[in-house]
Amino acid sequence: STILLLNGPNLNLLGTREPAVYGATTLADVEAMCSEVAKGLGHSLEAFQSNHEGDLLDQIHAAGRRFKAGELVGVVFNPGAFTHTSVALFDAISGVKPMPVIEVHISNVHAREAFRHHSYVSPAAAGIVVGFGTDGYRLAIEGLVRKASQLAG
């Protein structure tokens, strides 16, 4: 079935945005790579990026309905800066349980500014991948598929 790759604010700038922190890989590169990884695991990938919190909430709600219908494996989600601000994202992910959401951060947020150390999303996440660069998305997809087979088995 389908895996949803969700990227939050400013991740459309990947590749040109602070390359020393986030690398030179573009979001299109990440989405193409994730599509290949998903395909290799027998799934298809849908990718969505938004700079708007409400759009991300709507995507999580829609994903929850598709998960319930058996059409979706789960979500790989980099919430960007909303990680550190959004009670609404925590509530949305909590509200569509048990759909698994894997939280990804390209950078090691714990080695950066103190305001990046707290995540509202993490307590609702099924797993977290932090600090592996854009490779983290691959690891997250692999981890999501393993989680899903554990849930099913």
Interface ranges with ligand DQA (CB under 6 A): 10, 78, 80-81, 83, 105-107, 109, 116
Catalytic residue among 22, 43, 120, 137: 22
The encoded tokens of residue 151 equal 């849930």
Task: Select 2 or 10, whichever has its Cβ closest to ligand DQA.
Answer: 10
Token digits of residue 31 = 């989405």
Annotated binding residue 10: no
Does residue 102 have a known ligand-binding role?
A: no
Q: What are φ and ψ of residue 129, in 5° steps?
A: -125, 120
Smallest distance from ligand DQA to CB 84, Å: 6
2 three-state secondary structure: strand
Nearest approach, Cβ of 69 to ligand DQA (angstroms)?
Answer: 29
Is 137 an annotated catalytic residue?
A: no
Whole-angstrom CA distances from 51 to 10, 71, 147 are 6, 26, 28
Annotation-wise, does 29 bind a ligand? Answer: no
Whether omega for the bond prior to residue 98 falls within 30 degrees of 0, making it cis, is: yes
Cβ neighbours of residue 72 under 8 Å, at least 6 residues apart? 1, 2, 3, 4, 63, 66, 99
22 has catalytic annotation = yes
CB of 27 to ligand DQA, least distance (A): 11
**Which CB sits closer to ligand DQA, 11 or 63?**
11
Q: Which residues are catalytic?
A: 22, 105
Annotated binding site for substrate: 78, 84, 91, 106-107, 116
